[in-house]
A and B are shown apart, each in its own frame.
Chain A
Amino acid sequence: MKLSRLLQLPLALAPLLAPVAAEHTSNWAVLVSTSRFWFNYRHLANVLSLYRTVKRLGIPDSQIILMLPDDMACNPRNAFPGTVYSNADRAVDLYGDNIEVDYRGYEVTVENFIRLLTDRVGEEMPRSKRLLTDDRSNILVYMTGHGGNEFLKFQDAEEISAFDLADAFEQMWEKKRYHEILFMIDTCQANTMYSKFYSPNIIATGSSEIDQSSYSHHADNDVGVAVIDRYTYYNLDFLETQVREPNSKKSLGDLFDSYDESKIHSHPGVRWDLFPGKEQGGRERLVMDFFGNVQNVEVDSVGNDTEWKEDLLALGKKIAELRERAEAAEVAEKNTNVPNPSVGTHTSRKIRAAKVQVDDKWWGKKAVGAWALAGCSMVWFLGTYLESS
């Protein structure tokens, strides 16, 4: 026990370091469409519209990772070759001149996506295909495609689960690859995709609840397909009409309040609980913190001040963890039968992951079976009895 008391010291120092984490110095966007094929035109149009918006608000191409699994502009079915539109008025050609697709076609896979987020890439990977973020980067992650309960399909071939995504974000956090994340997803049962997140500093929003479909907004009858989804359409609508210039002071609260369920035809969800300031803090965040760029520069203090502090923080965390584990082991030794609550969040996470459904009707089924058997034999005996008499 002496040990643990000794370890209190760095822990007490740790909170002193907290105020440093206040502002971000760079903005990144990861924009992913996960479906191919002509009839999924709208998913690519969704992503391209968002791509265009973040570029308009100041994020440079070098800080946007754009993943497009198919090439709608060059599809032979496209009545307007070389273009992609997200509105039937066809005012803006999203495919235009200035577009940099980082991952395309069959490069858009679950593996590549997770490698991108966690930066587990080979030497040969060009910088344009890497998410070169640090702990001062705000990241906008936007995904769209066909999904279901806790999964999102990639190219009809594989799917990413909510757990994969949550673990990827956790790894990013551990590797200090983000400051804050705004996660947006437009797919059927979208809100289930962020339900498993457990890493801090994430605000998540999705287009529809569990068992709810996400709908397309309208079709272009000359292109012959739906061109944009509702949720994305109304997000863009807000961004284009309310956030007109980079110094806009509109907050995320304004954005989320603009969602009109009667227009979106599904129930968009927002998750605040991972964010330090919870809902209050999250709502005050500016839209521009994620959709725009910043020019903040953080100058390293004299010497290796920050590094030292970081190390101390890490050390403190490590010690805390060790102490927790030691305590847990001790308690477990004392009473092996009683489940130990102090094992901490780690265990509870695992329990959350393993969803085994208990069959409540077990006895009922047994009874029905027994009755059926008894009935059969009764009929049998009756028949034999009647026959013999």
Chain B
Amino acid sequence: MVSLLSSSVLLRRNPLILKLPPYLSFLCIVIGVAWLLVLPLDNYSRRTYISENALLPGQVHTYFAGSDQNVFRGYKREVDALEGSGNIEVNDKLEEFFKASGLKVARQSYEYKSAGETYAGENIYAILHAPRGDATEAIVLVGAWWNMEGKLNRSGVALILTLARYFKRWSLWSKDIIFLITADSKAGPQAWVDAYHDTHQSGMVDSLPLKSGALQGAVVIDYPFDHRFQDIHIVYDGINGQLPNLDLLNTVVSISGHMGIGTSLQQMWQHSDSYRDRLQTMLRGMLNQGLGHASGPHSSFIPYHVDAITLQPFGEGWQDEMAMGRVIESTFRSLNNLLEHLHQSFFFYLLMQADRFVSIGTYLPSAMLVAVNFTIMAIFLWVKSGSPNGESSNVSLTVEAGEKKTPLAIVKEGDAKALAPEATIAVRERELFLPLAVVAGSQFLGVLPLYIFNHTPEAMLHPIFTAFTSINGFFPLILSALLTHYFAPTAHHYTLIKTFSLLLLGLFLSSLATLNFSLAFLVGLLSAPLTYMQPLPNRPIVKGVLAVLLSALSPTTVLVAGCWWWELGIGRVLKEAAFGWDVWGMTTQVVVWCVWWPAWLVGMVLLFGNPREEKVKGAGNTIETVKT
């Protein structure tokens, strides 16, 4: 007992232990990144499989063909004729078509305001009641009149009208089927889903006059062209990086496979099943997940735990619109077989290609390791800040030099007692106020850009961002100067500031990793250098280099670089972000401005810090040291 106790006390002062953490945290980052890079290999990823027995994908004959093609052509002509018409006019016509098929029709208008702009429109939907089922569950077939790129979803809408007419003829539906045609791809689906679950803001979004049972799944058709297609592109990212159940995706992949139609993900139009292509698919997926924006009309359904995907035919091939219709028919027959909500398969996964994935258990350690690096460093600095004098190596030196003089102290724990050099057990009093104030202050400062960027009219977004970026460039310098001037922090203070900042960052990122893995990983990676920032008053060159590096990894610079790389206007991106915040409930900004940016700010302040010479007070005896 005695030896155990003294060893645990000595452990805290063991020079080996005190040197290890910086290397350990660096190792964490390296392993975290390497972990992600090996995921696309065969040994680490798995082939997808259908977990839900009830789905039975592709086990039915599809009969959507023949005369229905003529019906489709008719609807297609009508849709083409409506191309120039207004929203209400279009819906009048669509209502007529749905009613002619014998379905109940309802409409819903909405109006959102974001970044000084108004997004208004009217959704129309029709409900096919299950002829022999109860009305407790429903599946949704969605088509947006205008797709994400702003093109008229001409074949898509015509296909939905045809399928509505066709599905009505079957008597085997166990769930209601809702045919929804939204005015646009971004606000319309959100308004409809919100209203379906009664969570809409009344006044801006109308309530739904007609409802059915709990939504079990939604499939979106995005088919904006006339010609035949080759393969189907499946879009599955939801808002805030949430994903639909993997079984839904597997079902569509399997059904299309049965029909000889290929599937692709993340705009990988060609996929050679090589390591490179798999990695690229995965990274694109991670980027989409990390951004947390809506990637299609289906995205709005996912936060409500309604599994949804968008199907986009692409390429030039010999598959016609009837083939697309058969894929939908077969998918709906599978969904119709469901007995309970999709739950068997994964909700957290990264896809490498249509039939290969890694699940959360395999990929999570990578983001966790990156996040843990901050925590390790924070704990290390906390322990270090408690040692009687700033430099840990001094301890062993003094102990060796004045071995006989070393005052001994009695350590008690329960009944056990042990003798130990006083210097090793003495805990230095930590001055917490200033460090806590600095870290808390910078966290609160983050609210400022969050508010500004979400509440500025579109025209002002770009100028304000430019101003913010330039201020951001020298703001840490000013903050650091102010800090030195008024509070004259010691090296001890700086260590504690860094401790709290890293501790918070580690905490936030490891929690975030379980919700939005990609965002946590990306932010963790971009803020990795923060682990090694410390005041360097006597080394201006190193300081300058590090300052440039940190500035290059600041949230604003990364945003600018991203916009430049993907050739997007900054104003447009910010407008989209504000729209996401106002309409979709997107929370990426919160992570950027309230987690990443404050940590970055503190890192910069640390770098420019100039610690005052300190007088150190030990807990047991007073030791006067002069910093060398």
A280 to chain B, nearest CB (A): 43
A224 touches B130 (CB 8 A): no
Partner of B174, one of A76, A222, A225, A387: A76
| B residues 126-173 in Cβ contact with A at 8 Å | 130-133, 170-173
- Say if the beta carbon of A276 comes within 8 Å of chain B: no
- Say if the beta carbon of A75 comes within 8 Å of chain B: yes
B60 touches A81 (CB 8 A): no
B336 touches A225 (CB 8 A): no
Contacts of B76 in A (CB 8 A): none
A77 touches B59 (CB 8 A): no
For B336, give the chain A residue with the smallest CB separation.
Answer: A77
For B333, give the chain A residue with the smallest CB separation.
Answer: A224
Contacts of B525 in A (CB 8 A): none
B333 touches A76 (CB 8 A): no
- Say if the beta carbon of B61 comes within 8 Å of chain A: yes
Partner of A222, one of B15, B61, B130, B173: B61
Most chain A beta-carbon neighbours within 10 Å: one of B172, B173, B174 = B172
Known A-B contacts A37-B339, A39-B53, A222-B61; A384 and B16 likewise in contact (beta carbons under 8 Å): yes
Contacts of B132 in A (CB 8 A): 74, 76, 81
B59 touches A79 (CB 8 A): no
Q: Report the bound CA distance from A387 to B130 in whole Å.
A: 78
- Say if the beta carbon of A212 comes within 8 Å of chain B: no
- Say if the beta carbon of B65 comes within 8 Å of chain A: no
For B61, give the chain A residue with the smallest CB separation.
Answer: A221
| B residues 325-351 in Cβ contact with A at 8 Å | 333, 336-337, 339
For B60, give the chain A residue with the smallest CB separation.
Answer: A224
For B55, give the chain A residue with the smallest CB separation.
Answer: A39
Residues of B participating in the A interface, judged by any CB pair closer than 8 Å? 14-16, 53-54, 56, 59-61, 130-133, 170-174, 333, 336-337, 339
> Can you give 27 contacting A-B residue pairs, CB < 8 Å?
A38-B54, A38-B174, A38-B337, A38-B339, A39-B53, A39-B337, A74-B132, A76-B130, A76-B131, A76-B132, A76-B172, A76-B174, A77-B336, A78-B172, A79-B170, A79-B172, A81-B171, A221-B60, A222-B60, A224-B56, A224-B60, A224-B337, A225-B56, A225-B59, A384-B14, A384-B16, A387-B16
Q: Report the bound CA distance from A77 to B174 in whole Å.
A: 6
Interface string of A76-88 (1 = CB under 8 A from B): 1111010000000
Q: Report the bound CA distance from A79 to B59 in whole Å.
A: 13
Known A-B contacts A221-B59, A224-B59; A76 and B54 likewise in contact (beta carbons under 8 Å): no
For A146, give the chain B residue with the smallest CB separation.
Answer: B53
B256 to chain A, nearest CB (A): 17
For A39, give the chain B residue with the smallest CB separation.
Answer: B54
For A40, give the chain B residue with the smallest CB separation.
Answer: B53
- Say if the beta carbon of A219 comes within 8 Å of chain B: yes
For B334, give the chain A residue with the smallest CB separation.
Answer: A224
A282 to chain B, nearest CB (A): 36
B56 touches A39 (CB 8 A): yes
Known A-B contacts A37-B339, A387-B15; A76 and B59 likewise in contact (beta carbons under 8 Å): no
Contacts of A74 in B (CB 8 A): 132
- Say if the beta carbon of A277 comes within 8 Å of chain B: no
Contacts of A79 in B (CB 8 A): 170-172
Contacts of B337 in A (CB 8 A): 38-39, 77, 224
Q: Report the bound CA distance from A225 to B16 in whole Å.
A: 66
B460 to chain A, nearest CB (A): 56
| A residues 18-53 in Cβ contact with B at 8 Å | 37-39
A157 to chain B, nearest CB (A): 14
B201 to chain A, nearest CB (A): 37
Interface string of A211-241 (1 = CB under 8 A from B): 0000000010110111000000000000000
Q: Report the bound CA distance from A76 to B137 in whole Å.
A: 13
- Say if the beta carbon of A105 comes within 8 Å of chain B: no
B131 to chain A, nearest CB (A): 7
| A residues 56-93 in Cβ contact with B at 8 Å | 74-79, 81
